Amino acid sequence: MKATNIALAFHDAANIFPMIDDDSFASFLEDIKAHGVREAVKLLDGMVIDGRNRYKAARDLGIPCPTEDIETDDPVAYVLSMNRHRRHLKPSQLATVAARAREFYDKAAKERQKQHGGTAPGRKMEGTLPVSLPEVKRSDARDAAGKAVGVSGSLVDRGTKVLTQGTPELIKAVDEGRLSVTAAATFAECDEETQKEIAANAKASGGRYRNSTLTADKPETEPKHNGKPPVGVILANEALNVLMRIPKSDPLRKRGFQIVVDWIRTNK
């Protein structure tokens, strides 16, 4: 074990999990200030693979941070193993974790296809990506990622939609547990201004959700009628699609979004 004061980069795999929220980090910082960094930050190839919050706290306080080098052929599995149960994340938060892990599975599959024509496993990955990942077909990447963190493939799809279409503010609201991934996936179809407003209004209070119908995690299996989502959900999505076609200059556009959002808050 050694201590360092130098700036270190975060390993790509470490970023699968979100950093803790600002309020939690403030409390965490006070603990580090009082007791120091009691568990060494783990490094892989000179980058932080586990302990980003500890490392950031030490840097903010200007104190040495103990580090320890580790070796692993599967950085993604290592990060998932170290963080999944320790972080006590909700299903919606795990959905975005799985969506980020899915990107690694996809990249690993692409690399195998590139190197071996899709017929043999690949070992070498570019940059700081995993050296070795489980043999997964690209079509199975979603389910593999979901299984790795314990959520359904449909939640992974919603997490992927939020990451690819959502604003940073919307993504952060899900990562911090202030907004469900199901609601966020619907709101990701809204314009940037609307997404930012929704994210700003999704606030937690006292560790509990202030607006439970908007932000609370729902069961992975939602009620359906004859295999289809409830009619209200379908119509709400159609309403959002219509509203997005209205010029932003129209003064009633924002009001229309608010009406639909209020309905989703109450009924989603």
> Domain boundaries in the chain?
2-83
Q: How far is it, in rounded angstroms, from Cα 49 to Cα 74?
A: 11
Specify the 3-state DSSP secondary structure of 188: coil
164-191: b or e for each residue (b if 16 or more CB lie within 10 Å)?
ebbbebbbbbbbbbbbbbbbbbbbbbbe
- Phi-psi category of residue 226: left, alpha or beta, with phi > 0 → left and psi -120 to 50 → alpha: left
Asked whether 236 and 260 are in contact (CB, 8 A), the reply is yes
Q: How far is CA 199 from CA 16, 101, 208, in A?
A: 21, 24, 16
**pLDDT in the model for residue 205:** 34
Q: How far is it, in rounded angstroms, from Cα 186 to Cα 161?
A: 9
Q: Would you write out the chain's pLDDT as a tens digit for each of its 268 residues?
A: 677 677 899 999 999 999 988 888 999 999 999 999 999 999 999 999 999 999 999 999 999 899 999 999 889 989 988 887 777 888 999 999 999 999 887 877 777 777 765 554 444 444 444 444 445 555 578 888 888 888 999 999 999 999 999 999 999 999 998 888 988 998 898 889 889 888 887 764 333 333 333 444 444 444 444 555 566 666 776 777 677 778 878 878 777 877 877 776 666 5
Residue 64, both tokens: 């040495």
- Quote the pTM value: 0.68
Closest by Cα among 18, 137, 141, 17 to 81: 17
